[in-house]
Amino acid sequence: MPELPEVETIRRDLEKRILSKSITSLLIHDQRILHGCKPASFKAKCLGQIVAGVSRRGKAVIISFQSQTHLIVQLMMTGQLIYLDDHQQNKIDKHTKLTFLFHDNSCLNYNDQRLFGRLTLVNNLEELKFLKMIGPEPFQPEFNPAAMKATFKSRKAPIKSLLMNQNFVAGIGNIYASEILFDSRINPRRLSFTLKNSEIESLHRSTVKILKEAIQYRGTSMRNYLDSSGAKGEFINRIKVYGRENEACLICRTRVVKIVQSGRSTFYCKRCQK
């Protein structure tokens, strides 16, 4: 799924586009996308709602309505939220699962090739288990070297796995975990508790730096990711290791290697990352 920078890009754009709009119609093209909620009930709860805010927590977009109801959109691997000014121009394909129509004739499609995504309606954000468990946002003061150090002390998992653990820090996925570790010159296989203070500080700096830069470039389009206008993210041009197996390290020219950790691909430079 889109990771933090992609979701934040979507959030910022949607905030400009759908704030204060009311939902006048809802088209459910594929009801498999609704987990644990019947189409009729989902529709009834959405109709007439007025968008009061668009926020983000980790990799989830939270669309809040004036009625205090919240729509949580977890895009997972292939979910997309595509906005269009004029729904008459709307192009629905086999991956379009839902279309929200607004009072001004604009619309918002939820597309999802692999159907992993989730749309959940709640009256209270506290109801959601994943929001209770999730760790601090990387840009919040709660995420800092001292707190990281305290967590690392007792953790035996490789640092790459911990970076991707949403309960440790929110929003980092497979692409940015590799990029952050390359930027901080830390080997992804290193066990968390073995990191020195200077390395933890470096990791913290790189996390903030890479994620901010990726937001600035509107995210990374590896395969499926598109922003809410249907455009690709430009950070793909600044990716240094992810997906670059056997290509030269941009620092030392050594070949980038690919390994598998916890079932996910990791890319790194054996020479630069100690």
Partner DNA sequence: AGGTCGACCTGGCAGC
Partner DNA sequence: TGCTGCCAGGTCGACC
Interface positions with DNA (CB under 7 A): 1-3, 6, 58-60, 74, 76-77, 94-95, 113-116, 129-130, 154-158, 161-162, 164-166, 173-175, 192, 219-225, 233, 262-265
- Closer CB to DNA, 88 or 126, in the complex: 126
| Least distance (Å) between residue 30 CB and DNA | 9
Least distance from DNA to the Cβ atom of residue 53, Å: 20
CA dihedral (10, 15, 18, 22) in degrees, to 10, reads 130
Which candidate in 2, 5, 138, 188 is catalytic?
2
Specify whether 56 is catalytic.
no
Catalytic residue among 43, 189, 264, 270: 264
Question: Which of 56, 59, 97, 244 is labelled catalytic?
Answer: 59
Is 212 labeled as catalytic in the residue annotation?
no
Report which DSSP code applies to 255.
B
Q: How far apart are CB 4 and DNA at their closest, in Å?
A: 9
In a 3-state reduction of DSSP, which class is residue 176? helix
Active site residue 38: no
Q: Residue 46 has which token pair? A: 């959405």
If you write DSSP's letter for every residue of 21-63 in order, what string do you get? -BEEEEEES-GGG-SSS-HHHHHHHHTT-BEEEEEEETTEEEE
Q: How many CB atoms lie within 10 A of CB 20?
A: 12
- Rounded to a whole number of angstroms, the minimum distance from the CB of residue 24 to DNA is 29
Q: Which residues pair with 120 in a beta bridge?
A: 72
Residues 6 or more apart whose CB falls under 8 angstroms from that of 155 comprise: 162, 191, 192, 193
| Residue closer to DNA (CB basis): 16 or 132 | 132
The residue (of 78 and 273) whose beta carbon lies closer to DNA is 78
H helices present in 165-254, as ranges: 174-183, 197-216
Q: Which residues contact 134 (CB under 8 A, 6 or more apart)?
A: 57, 58, 166, 167, 170
Comparing CB distances to DNA, the nearer of 93 and 141 is 93
Residue 142 φ then ψ, to 5°: -65, -25
Cβ proximity to DNA: between 101 and 200 the closer is 200
In the complex, minimum distance from the CB of residue 262 to DNA, in angstroms, rounded to a whole number = 5
Residue 59 among the catalytic residues: yes
Catalytic residues: 2-3, 59, 264
